[in-house]
């Protein structure tokens, strides 16, 4: 179906190739996992396969790339996209319509000449992906998992031969990842070739036919799933775990007996015109702890984090810091917070200025030390917005950590991080805990929770069981 013969590629205006000497042959119906450290060239390889390189990104390609027996160099993007569909990490950024039905029909409308065929294929995709109840829903109303499902339905409706997926589970909770895996398994059984680039591996167990590990632009290892079972191999390339660990040691923070660093008592909060989100709830962050804040999308995790940071005031509730009543605004002085969307949190001229600006009173040496801890020292004089996505994310976390006094809050800090970077973040959180400081981490990442979190706040509070049950390998295989 797809073959790459000694492909070397360099982006425009760059001398060093991003991919070097990559050869690969993909048979119809195979599922290929492309993994490896961040910045290794995974996404670039996918862009070559879906035609975005060279048609959109340009650059210099050496070697031969074939799709269904045809040389891709002579194919238009339109021709390639009729055979190869693409699912991005953040589906919301690829939607061009306002409702679920319109979004699924959108690409079909450009490809089919008969409106009845468009309608039939749209309805079929809606039913196949279990979206009947959401048919006329606005895309704003969807959770991240539902958005990913809609995006998948819209590309599957085109009946592609090949589907490329770039970190499709980065923003998904374990349940949504399992749902996605189930849908992909069905597509695979229908003969669709799947090319998946991802750091998270556990959700793919049982589905992958072949693994390619890419590091510094080279295919450093290829083989079956079993090559990933070797712990030393994974460690040498900074890969994540292949089985999700359990979180048995993590303490639920709903118990009254737990001490509090920050305590919101009788908290009532709701956004104007959208009803009440929390009503007479009590939330506490324990001292000397790393607390995971978990729960499905839309349950109020980010809102609670903003309350804990003192960014918003509730309708009702009393706030205490180390048992002393304080005002929400006072929390701002002692809290560092890294939110999602890193580019919205960077506005200085250089990376060094950025961290100096964030860490109040930080001198240049200390700032450089912080950059070094996050592998950003060599970029000190670069403009923050010129960094890659992963580097920006690390810079934002570094800024928050440099500023944080009593409390550090991180919102989904590991989406898009490889194993080594995730472990480095876990080490930072552990160091803070050892130094008697607390951290609150909004995350779906079971590996991070199991590795470093001591406590967990699971929203909504009135649910009996945690809503992020680690997926056992058997469970996933049953799903598949």
Partner 1 sequence: MILTDTSQTLPLNRPAEPGASGRQLDVRVRLVIALATSVAVLLLSHPMTLAMLSLTGAIYMAMLRRWRVQIICYCVLLFLGGLSVLFLYILQIFLPMMRNTSPSAMLVPLLRMLALLHAVMPLALSLKLREVLSVMKTLRFPRALYLPLSVTIRFIPGLVYDLRQIRDCLRLRGFRGWALLRPRFWLLPVIFRCLFLSDELAVSAELKGVGYGRPTHLESKKFLRANNLAALVALLSILAGVLWMDRSLPQAITSMHTNAAGLKSGGHHARHGNQPAQRKTHAEP
Site for partner 1 in 406-445 (CB under 8 A): none
| Residue nearer to partner 1 on the CB measure, 310 or 317 | 310
Among 94, 236, 268, 350, binds partner 1 (CB under 8 A): 94
Compute the least distance from the CB of residue 354 to partner 1, in Å. 10
Kindly give the pairing relationship between strand 278-285 and strand 262-269: antiparallel
Compute the least distance from the CB of residue 43 to partner 1, in Å. 12
Q: Is 284 in the site for partner 1 (CB under 8 A)?
A: no
Q: How many residues does the chain have?
A: 480
* DSSP structure class, residue 274: S
Contact 300, 283 (CB under 8 A): no
SS (H, E, C) 443-479: CCCHHHHHHHCCEEEECCCCCCCCCCCCCCHHHHHHH
Q: Is 189 in the site for partner 1 (CB under 8 A)?
A: no
Instruction: Kindly indicate which of the ranges 254-262, 330-338, 423-431, 462-470 contains the residues binding partner 1, using the contact rule CB under 8 A.
Output: 330-338
Contact 312, 337 (CB under 8 A): no
| Residue nearer to partner 1 on the CB measure, 88 or 203 | 88
Q: Which of 288, 302, 327 is nearest to 433 (CA)?
A: 288
Compute the least distance from the CB of residue 463 to partner 1, in Å. 20
Among 6, 27, 70, 78, binds partner 1 (CB under 8 A): 78
Among 61, 108, 362, 425, binds partner 1 (CB under 8 A): 108
| Residue nearer to partner 1 on the CB measure, 88 or 423 | 88
Applying CB under 8 A, the site for partner 1 has a residue count of 72
Count CB atoms within 10 A of the CB of residue 55: 16
Q: Is 112 in the site for partner 1 (CB under 8 A)?
A: yes
Instruction: Please give the full DSSP string across 373-442, using - where no structure is assigned.
Output: HTT-GGGTTS-GGGS-HHHHHHHHHHHHHHH-SSEEEEESTTTT--HHHHHHHHHHHHHHHHTT-EEEEE
The 365-404 site mask, x for binding partner 1 (CB under 8 A), equals --------------------x-------------xx--x-
Using CA atoms, how far apart are residues 366 and 255, in angstroms rounded to an integer? Answer: 39
Using CA atoms, how far apart are residues 86 and 110, in angstroms rounded to an integer? Answer: 16
Instruction: Kindly indicate which of the ranges 6-14, 78-86, 280-288, 458-466 contains the residues binding partner 1, using the contact rule CB under 8 A.
Output: 78-86
| Residue nearer to partner 1 on the CB measure, 5 or 279 | 279
- Which residues are within 8 A (CB) of 180 and not within 5 positions of it... i.e. 6 or more apart? 145, 148, 149, 152, 168, 169, 172, 203
Compute the least distance from the CB of residue 357 to partner 1, in Å. 6
The 295-324 site mask, x for binding partner 1 (CB under 8 A), equals --xx-------x--x-x-------------
Q: Which of 463, 144, 459 is nearest to 304 (CA)?
A: 459
Site for partner 1 in 114-133 (CB under 8 A): 114-116, 118-119, 122
Site for partner 1 in 22-61 (CB under 8 A): 50, 52, 55-56
CA Rg value for the chain: 23
| Own/partner pairs, 371-376, CB within 8 angstroms, 24+ separation | 371/398, 373/398, 373/424, 373/428, 374/398, 374/424, 375/421, 375/424, 376/351
Site for partner 1 in 339-368 (CB under 8 A): 339-341, 343-347, 357-358, 360
Tokens found for residue 273: 């015109």
Contact 75, 48 (CB under 8 A): no
| Residue nearer to partner 1 on the CB measure, 51 or 217 | 51
Q: Is 97 in the site for partner 1 (CB under 8 A)?
A: yes
Q: Is 325 in the site for partner 1 (CB under 8 A)?
A: no
Site for partner 1 in 142-161 (CB under 8 A): 142-144, 147
């Amino acid at each position: 179906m797809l073959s790459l013969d000694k492909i070397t590629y360099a982006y425009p205006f760059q001398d060093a190739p991003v991919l070097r000497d990559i050869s690969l042959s993909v048979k119809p119906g195979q599922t290929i996992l492309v993994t490896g450290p961040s910045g290794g060239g995974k996404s670039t390889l996918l862009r070559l396969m879906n035609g975005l390189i060279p048609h959109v990104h340009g650059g210099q390609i050496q070697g031969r790339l074939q799709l269904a027996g045809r040389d891709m160099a002579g194919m238009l993007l339109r021709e390639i996209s009729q055979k190869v569909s693409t699912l991005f990490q953040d589906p919301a950024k690829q939607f061009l319509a306002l409702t679920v039905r319109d979004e699924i029909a959108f690409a079909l409308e450009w490809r089919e000449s008969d409106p009845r065929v468009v309608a039939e294929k749209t309805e079929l995709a809606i039913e196949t992906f279990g979206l009947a109840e959401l048919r006329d829903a606005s895309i704003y109303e969807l959770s991240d998992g539902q958005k990913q499902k809609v995006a998948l339905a819209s590309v599957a409706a085109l009946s592609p031969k090949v589907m490329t997926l770039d970190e499709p589970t980065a923003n998904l909770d374990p349940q949504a990842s399992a749902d996605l895996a189930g849908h992909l398994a069905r597509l695979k059984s229908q003969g669709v070739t799947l090319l998946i680039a991802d750091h998270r591996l556990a959700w793919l167990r049982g589905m992958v036919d072949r693994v390619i590990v890419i590091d510094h632009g080279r295919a450093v290892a290829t083989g079956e799933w079993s090559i990933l079972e070797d712990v030393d191999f994974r460690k040498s390339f900074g890969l994540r775990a292949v089985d999700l660990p359990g979180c048995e040691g993590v303490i639920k923070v709903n118990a009254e007996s737990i001490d509090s660093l920050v305590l919101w008592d009788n908290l009532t909060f709701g956004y104007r015109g959208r009803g009440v989100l929390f009503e007479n709830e009590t939330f506490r962050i324990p001292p000397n702890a790393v607390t995971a804040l978990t729960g499905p999308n839309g349950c109020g995790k980010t809102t609670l984090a903003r309350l804990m940071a003192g960014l918003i005031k509730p309708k009702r509730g009393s706030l205490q810091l180390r048992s002393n009543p304080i005002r929400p605004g006072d929390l701002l002085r002692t809290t560092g917070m890294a939110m999602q969307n890193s580019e919205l949190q960077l506005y200085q001229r250089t990376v060094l200025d950025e961290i100096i600006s964030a860490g109040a009173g930080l001198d240049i040496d200390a700032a450089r030390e912080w950059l070094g801890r996050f592998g950003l020292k060599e970029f000190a004089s670069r403009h923050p917005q010129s960094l890659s996505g992963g580097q920006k994310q690390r810079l934002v976390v570094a800024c928050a950590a440099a500023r944080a006094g009593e409390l550090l809050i991180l919102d989904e800090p590991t989406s898009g991080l490889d194993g080594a970077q995730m472990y480095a973040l876990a080490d930072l959180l552990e160091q803070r805990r050892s130094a008697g400081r607390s951290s609150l981490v909004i995350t779906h990442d079971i590996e991070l929770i199991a590795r470093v979190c001591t406590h967990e706040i699971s929203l909504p509070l009135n649910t009996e069981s945690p809503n992020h049950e680690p997926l056992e390998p058997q469970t996933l295989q049953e799903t598949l």
